[in-house]
Amino acid sequence: MAKRPHMDCYAIGDTADFAKTVSEYDVYGFAGIVGDFYGVHLNEEYAKRTQFGRRIAQGALSVGFLATVMGYMAAKAPDPGAVSYRYDITFRAPVFIGDTVTARLTLVEKDEDRNTCVFDAAVTNQAGTVVAQGRTYLKVL
């Protein structure tokens, strides 16, 4: 397949990030949207009895922050654009209410034949601890 000009808007090493302090509202709102009402997220007394000692944010919320950054990357492509289509993410550490997390993507590979960009993905907290990491994939249309 011939190289598509839409891939030219991406260069190896391109990065983007999104940072936010995770609030109680974020955890409750996300629970309401996806239905994850597990006690470790919403019940302080239950969470005290876990290895975390207090409530933690849902892991998928960190993936959601990576999705925000994927949206930034997708927006770089001219019409008809690009879409994220794969996330291979492992959770490494908990995110507590009040943590400030930064989701960052770095373009590490371009597959011109498949019109795909592959990104290293990481979410870190304010102490620099990696809480989630892996790869994400963007399909250039």
**Global pTM?**
0.93
Q: Residue 5 pLDDT more than 70? A: no
Cβ contacts of residue 37 below 8 Å, gap of 6+? 31
Structural domain of 12: 5-140
Question: CATH number for the domain including 124?
Answer: 3.10.129.10
* pLDDT (tens digit per residue) in 42-83: 999 999 999 999 999 999 999 999 999 999 999 999 888 899
Eight-state DSSP code of residue 78 = P
Indicate the number of domains in the chain.
1
* pLDDT (tens digit per residue) in 88-97: 999 999 999 9
Estimate to the nearest angstrom the gap between the alpha carbon of 109 and the chain centroid: 18
